[in-house]
Amino acid sequence: MNYNLITILGPTAIGKTRIAANLAYDTGGEIISADSRQVYRGMDIGTGKDIADYSVNGKFIKYHLIDICSPLEEFSLFDFRKYFNTAFKDISLRKKIPVLAGGTGLYLSSVLQNYKMAQVDFSSSRFQELHTRSENDLKYILNKLNPKLHNTTDLTDKARIVKAIMVKEAENESHPYKTSGINSFTFGITDDREIIRKNITERLKFRLKNGMIEEAEKLIESGVSYDKLMFFGLEYKYLAMYLKGEINYNDMFQKLNTSIHQFAKRQMTWFRKMEREGVKIHWFKNTDYDKILTLAKDNFNVF
**For the chain, what are the domain ranges?**
118-175, 193-261
pTM: 0.85
Q: pLDDT value at position 181?
A: 86
Given the DSSP bridges, would you call strands 184-190 and 5-9 parallel, antiparallel or unpaired? parallel
Residue 280's φ and ψ, nearest 5 degrees, are: -85, 120
Pair 256, 234: CB distance under 8 Å = yes
CA distance 265 to 297: 31
pLDDT attached to residue 302: 64
Please provide the size of the chain in residues: 303
**What totals of helices (H) and strands (E) does the chain contain, helices first?**
12, 8
CATH, domain 193-261, list 2.130.10.10, 2.40.420.20, 1.10.287.890, 3.30.70.3420: 1.10.287.890
Query: Measuring CA to CA, which residue among 181, 199, 203 is closest to residue 189?
Result: 199
Q: How many CB atoms lie within 10 A of CB 194?
A: 8
CA distances from 113 to 8, 11, 28 (A): 15, 19, 25
Q: How far is CA 263 from CA 163, 205, 268, 270, in A?
A: 21, 17, 9, 10
Q: Which pLDDT tens digit goes with each residue over 75-106? A: 988 899 999 999 999 999 999 999 999 999 99
CA–CA gap between residue 184 and residue 300 (Å, rounded) = 11
**CA 172 and chain centroid, separation:** 25
Local structure of residue 253 (DSSP, 8 states): H
pLDDT score of 179: 54
Sort strands 55-56 and 59-60 into parallel, antiparallel or unpaired.
Answer: antiparallel
pLDDT digits (tens, 9 = 90+) for 201-242: 999 999 999 999 999 999 999 999 999 999 999 999 999 999
46-50, 66-70, 164-168, 227-231: which range is least confident on average? Answer: 164-168
Q: Cite the DSSP H helix spans in 49-192.
A: 77-93, 105-112, 125-131, 135-145, 158-173
d(Cα 234, Cα 53) in Å, to the nearest integer?
A: 22
* Cα–Cα distance measured from residue 187 to residue 86, given in angstroms and rounded to the nearest whole number: 23
How confident is the model over 126-142, as pLDDT tens digits?
989 999 999 999 999 99
Nearest residue to 29 via CA among 178, 185, 190, 179: 185
- Residue 74 per-residue DSSP state: -
